């Protein structure tokens, strides 16, 4: 099975994906444990997923 990898934008570690990764998919960096969002698959680009941005005003 083919795999892709991209650098974690936070700690720089390689994060490995299956080749069928899609835009918007969330992955967790195995190094820093942060949630990352796939913003592009070709080339593979990651950004830090919003952690507490969604304030629904409970």
Which positions touch Zn ion (CB under 5 A)? 8, 10-11, 13, 29, 31-32
* Torsion angles phi and psi, residue 54, rounded to 5: -90, 95
> Considering the complex, what minimum distance in angstroms separates the CB of residue 37 from Zn ion?
13
> Considering the complex, what minimum distance in angstroms separates the CB of residue 15 from Zn ion?
7
> Considering the complex, what minimum distance in angstroms separates the CB of residue 10 from Zn ion?
5
Strands (E), 1-58: 3-7, 14-18, 26-28, 35-41, 44-48
Q: Which is nearer to Zn ion, 10 or 41 (by Cβ)?
A: 10
Residues 55 and 16 sit within 8 Å (Cβ to Cβ): no
């Amino acid at each position: 099975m083919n795999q892709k990898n991209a650098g974690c934008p936070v700690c720089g570690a390689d994060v490995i994906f299956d080749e069928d990764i899609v835009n918007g998919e969330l992955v967790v960096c195995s190094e820093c444990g942060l949630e990352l969002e796939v913003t592009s698959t070709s080339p593979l680009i990651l950004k830090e997923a919003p952690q507490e941005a969604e304030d629904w005003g409970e």
